[in-house]
Chain A
């Protein structure tokens, strides 16, 4: 039996909610959904001279997935993102743990504030600073030379994937720390006491109680770092010296310099599919994990 009053109330509440959300929603549809749809349509069209011919083709996708050039760019982007994600999350975990477990509750927000400040300062300048720090005649090399530790500058510091991983791990650090911190904060502290009462050491308590319970935060951190990293444009450009392009650089080149918008769109859509697939995989893992704990 339905209560007519309640239905009416819900209906009016639903209507108010929809009216309220419509301005931001319409904006997102116009500026995000419609352009992405346009890109998807372009990706199956044929590139003409200065125009895009509405002739359906799968060639752009075939090129994206089989051409050695684009495949290597895709693989490199994936690899760099995997390295960056692993480095960022592993380095960030102890920091999140420290703030959640070892810091006095009244000082926690100060520590979080300290961690987030560098993130809010100019991204371009931070990336450029790493170029300056790691450069051939940069801060580290000149510093070590001035201290007479080395005679010749270390060549392996700059213009390589390692430098890119370091820069990106620095850029996305707070993205990893905060979700892990939130997950750690939710853990019932008495569970750990129980672990120790039952004869576990500090380390095994961590491995068997704290770490599994904080996994949702770790998975969130992995996703939050992985997704923007794979689309990063500035770091390959500055730190890689333009010689180690990633997906964003390839998209830019095809869309603007080569003016092949269909192929560029196909690469962009493929990149989004990969990112989407990885996200779904991780969310699925997260759900299995949560179920296993119950």
Chain B
């Protein structure tokens, strides 16, 4: 059923979705302290101002530590959950998976506050480690979702063939299953890294005095003079996430092509 006006509407909607991102580079290169029209001429000064701030690089380093650790841990936990959910039947499966997936829909404020209460009560000091603990909790459901679809498209007969040819269960997993789901694993690692990099609430409340990139950005909002350099930083971040996502999408499609399944669309 075709409605011709729909295409116009969809393009307008996409413009609405992209408006903030498209305005970012315009004002990042605009030679004015105020984010407003008319434009005042071209400058790269805001990028230099952004680059000169040491606090940014410390925050970036922290974000990389948190993001890489989270990505590895969440993807590893995700492999366990996805393999269990696609291959085995066991008691309490729905409830267990439900609890693992729950952080996807729970407000982050409630999760971070409940964790904060426990950390304070036990006396765990707040630092990058506590941020990682929170981020792994939030990222694991996304890893499970991506990896479940990777494990689902596996042909069970490949596994049986490997076992018939004398491989044990562990070497079957290592030599047959793992290479087949590798694109899913890479895609999961990239997505969880991106989520961790972007996450703010948990990093803000569980980080103590440590700042990640998002906490740094939030702090900069208070200073009107820093706004143009935040536009510059935003421009760079947008380019980086698009590059990361395109890579993740490439691996996801290659994974689907490798297992011979039909492409059903995005990773959500």
Contact = CB atoms under 8 A, between A and B. Distances in A.
A93 B241 CA distance: 26
B: interface residue count bin: 35 or more
A7 B197 CA distance: 47
Nearest to A26: B77
Interface string B115-157: 1111001000000000001101100100010000000000000
Contacts of A124: 198, 200, 214, 217-218
A125 B234 contact: yes
A117 interface: yes
Contact of A38 (B21, B84, B85, B114): B114
Contacts of B265: 108-109, 112, 178, 181-182
Contact of B266 (A23, A109, A139): A109
A63 interface: no
Contacts of A21: 80-81, 84-85, 90, 93, 96-97, 100
B115 A139 contact: no
A137 to B, nearest CB: 6
Contact of B10 (A24, A98, A268): A98
A284 interface: no
B165 to A, nearest CB: 21
Interface string B39-62: 000000000000000000000000
Interface residues of A, number: 99
B77 A24 contact: yes
A20 B88 contact: yes
Interface stretch (A53-61, A68-76, A202-210): A202-210
B194 A120 contact: yes
A101 B245 CA distance: 26
Top 7 A-B pairs ranked by shortest CB distance?
Answer: A231-B107, A17-B88, A17-B90, A142-B36, A129-B20, A35-B114, A20-B84
Given A116-B245, A117-B242, A268-B109, 13 more contacts: A13-B88, A18-B92, A24-B144, A27-B136, A115-B14, A122-B214, A133-B19, A182-B265, A231-B106, A231-B108, A233-B109, A247-B107, A256-B205
